[in-house]
Amino acid sequence: MTAFNPRSKVATKTQNEQAHEQLKSKLTSHKINFLDAVSTDPKAKWSAEYGFIILGIDREKINLLTLEFGQNALVSFERWATPKLLLCDNLGDQTKSSLI
Closest CA to 50 of 68, 25, 24, 26: 24
Residue numbers of the domain that contains 53: 6-90
Find the CATH number of the domain harbouring 63. 3.30.70
Strands 49-54 and 84-87 turn out to be: unpaired
DSSP 8-state secondary structure symbol assigned to residue 3: -
95 domain residue, yes or no: no
Please give the tally of structural domains in the chain. 1
98 domain residue, yes or no: no
- Write down the mean pLDDT value for the chain: 86
In this prediction, residues 5-11 reach a mean pLDDT of 91
Closest CA to 65 of 36, 40, 94: 94
Query: Structure pTM?
Result: 0.81
48 domain residue, yes or no: yes
Under 8 Å between Cβ of 96 and 67: yes
Model confidence over 23-59: pLDDT tens digits? 999 999 999 999 999 999 899 888 899 999 999 988 8
